[in-house]
């Protein structure tokens, strides 16, 4: 077995590997290639695969977190094909990633995974521990009702807006999002890069506008009949008026109009307000996502 850098020709196989490990993950070869080709240099990222006789059986990714001001904060994760587990492949890939993070000055790493007892036991033996959990949920958007808004507010598709229209509201709302690291340094370049993701669908993403400014939003990624909610939030001055719910309803109905029959998302246990919104919209639990962390130095 050889651990080597990920190549362009590996990407379809890696997408399949990641999707089989977590069928709620919404990826396409085009979206993965976009992320790889536009990733900022300051992330110092490393993408590797485990190649066994010409067959990719595992993949690993690691780099510095560019969305926070906390120095030395990084991320990493490993996925191994189910039929090749318990052979030491994941440990070998993980060691390469940890060594890379140490070489670029990382002090702490986090990893976002779909919870399985096997996965958590594996991670726990290697120094990782839980820092955040949240329900993984799904809904058929075709039954979601139309948004309701107070007078003076309106819902629009993000396709009518620019990334600059959304940037400041997203940065403000992100400061209050439960997270293993504080999202206080999201650069406009990073935000535009996410906006340009081939499966981000601005036509199926909703924003609430008041006096010409975005005050709430809900992002949606779409691939075929599947959708995945991205970040949903509301600026502080307008919370408590049902605006985030309206944005989510707009996005879910727009996704249904695209032919989407299943939308998945997750949110932290600590985010009681968003969990309540999702329950009212009909989301049902299908699993759990976990954020793990490990000190590196």
At 45-72, the pLDDT tens digits run: 999 999 998 999 999 999 999 999 999 9
- Of 135, 154, 188, which residue sits at a domain end? 135
Query: With pLDDT > 70 as the criterion, what percentage of the chain qualifies?
Result: 100
Domain assignment present for residue 293? The answer is: no
Last residue of a domain, one of 135, 168, 193: 135
Has residue 189 been placed in a domain?
yes
- In this prediction, residue 267 carries a pLDDT of 87
**CA angle in degrees (0–180, nearest 5) for 158-67-131:** 110
| Residue 276 shares a structural domain with residue 150 | yes
- Alpha-carbon 85 to chain mean position: 25
Confirm whether 43 is domain-assigned: yes
Q: What is the mean pLDDT of residues 167-172?
A: 98
- Residue 221 has a pLDDT of 98
| 108 and 160, same domain (yes or no) | no
Minimal CA–CA distance to 161: which of 211, 213, 210?
213
Please, which residues have CB within 8 angstroms of residue 146's CB and are 6 or more apart in sequence?
249, 253
* 297 has a pLDDT exceeding 80: no
Q: Can you tell me the mean pLDDT for 238-255?
A: 97
Distance spanning both ends of the chain, measured CA to CA: 29
What CATH number does the domain containing 130 carry? 3.40.630.30
Q: Is 163 among the domain residues?
A: yes
Q: Averaged over 252-280, what is the pLDDT?
A: 94
Looking at residue 71, the DSSP 8-state letter turns out to be T
Residue 73 shares a structural domain with residue 198: no
Q: Token pair for residue 179?
A: 């997270």
- The reply to whether 268 and 170 lie within a common domain is yes
Shared-domain flag, residues 56 and 175: no
- Once rounded to an integer, what is the mean pLDDT over residues 216-230? 97
Percentage of the residues of the chain whose pLDDT score is greater than 90: 95
Would you state the pLDDT for residue 148? 95
Cα torsion for 167, 171, 173, 176, to the nearest 10°?
170
Predicted model pTM: 0.95
pLDDT at 270: 87
On the 0-12 / 13-18 / 19+ scale of CB atoms within 10 A, 258 is middle
Q: Are residues 187 and 50 in the same domain?
A: no
168 and 182 both lie in a single domain = yes
Asked if 219 and 161 count as a contact pair (C-beta separation under 8 A), the reply is no
Helices (H), 211-292: 243-257, 272-280
Domain that holds residue 208: 138-287
State how many domains the chain has: 2
Residue after which a domain boundary falls, among 135, 163, 193: 135
């Amino acid at each position: 077995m050889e651990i080597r850098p990920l190549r362009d020709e590996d990407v379809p196989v890696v997408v399949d590997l990641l999707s089989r490990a977590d069928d709620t993950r919404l990826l396409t070869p085009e979206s993965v290639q976009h992320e790889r080709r536009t990733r900022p240099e300051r992330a110092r990222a490393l993408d590797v695969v485990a190649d066994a006789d010409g067959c990719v059986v595992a993949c690993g990714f690691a780099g510095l977190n560019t969305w926070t001001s906390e120095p030395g904060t990084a991320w990493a994760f490993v996925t191994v094909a189910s039929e090749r587990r318990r052979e030491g492949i994941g440990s070998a890939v993980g060691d390469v990633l940890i060594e890379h993070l140490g070489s670029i000055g990382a002090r702490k790493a986090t990893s976002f995974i779909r919870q399985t007892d096997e996965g958590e036991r594996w991670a726990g033996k290697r120094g990782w521990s839980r820092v955040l959990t949240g329900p993984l949920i799904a809904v058929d958007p075709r039954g979601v009702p139309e948004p309701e808004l107070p007078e003076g507010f309106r819902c629009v598709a993000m396709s009518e807006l620019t990334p600059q229209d959304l940037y400041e509201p997203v940065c403000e709302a992100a400061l209050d999002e439960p997270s293993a690291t504080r999202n206080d340094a999201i650069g406009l370049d990073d935000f535009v890069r996410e906006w340009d993701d081939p499966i981000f669908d601005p036509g199926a993403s909703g924003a609430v506008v008041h006096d010409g400014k975005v005050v709430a939003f809900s992002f949606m990624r779409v691939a075929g009949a599947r959708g995945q909610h991205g970040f949903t939030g509301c600026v502080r001055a307008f919370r408590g008026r049902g605006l985030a719910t309206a944005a989510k309803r707009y996005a879910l109905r727009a996704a249904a109009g695209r032919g989407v029959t299943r939308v998945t998302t997750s949110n932290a246990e600590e985010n009681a307000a968003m969990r309540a919104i999702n329950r009212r919209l009909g989301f049902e639990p299908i699993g759990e996502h976990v954020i793990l962390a490990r000190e590196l130095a």
